[in-house]
């Protein structure tokens, strides 16, 4: 199993190809926001819906700067902000 930045194991083989595509695009969006100074340290978020699922979303881990986010560090949550899958990262409940 390969590892990504920060020693985070890749989720590429654990999610659907459509979800992986969203996971790859999302960190690019975070990096653009950081590049242009639009982020508010760790209190802002960008949310993406998991393809094919109406009530699951990908959100940035709480405490991680936008330029550190990777496809595998995104946290999958439900409509109430609960983690859908195990993740070592917390989420900011008000953001969900």
| Chain segment 12-45, per-residue pLDDT in tens | 999 999 999 999 999 999 999 999 988 876 567 8
Q: Strands, DSSP E only, in 1-96?
A: 48-49, 56-59, 75-78
pLDDT at 7 over 80: no
| Chain segment 38-90, per-residue pLDDT in tens | 887 656 788 999 999 999 999 999 888 899 999 999 999 999 989 999 888 88
Rounded CA-CA distance 65/56 in Å is: 22
Rounded CA-CA distance 22/52 in Å is: 12
The predicted pLDDT at position 84 comes to 93
Is the pTM here over 0.95, yes or no? no
**Based on C-alpha coordinates, what's the Rg of the chain?**
12
The predicted pLDDT at position 1 comes to 36
Rounded CA-CA distance 23/41 in Å is: 21
């Amino acid at each position: 199993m390969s590892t990504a930045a920060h020693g985070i194991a890749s989720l590429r083989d654990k999610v659907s190809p459509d979800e992986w595509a969203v996971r790859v695009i999302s960190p690019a969006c975070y990096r653009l926001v950081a590049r242009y100074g639009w982020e508010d340290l760790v209190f802002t978020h960008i949310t993406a819906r998991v393809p094919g699922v109406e009530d699951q979303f990908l959100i940035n881990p709480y405490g991680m700067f936008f330029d550190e986010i990777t496809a595998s560090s995104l946290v999958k949550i439900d409509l109430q902000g609960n983690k859908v899958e195990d993740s070592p990262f917390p989420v900011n409940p008000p953001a969900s």
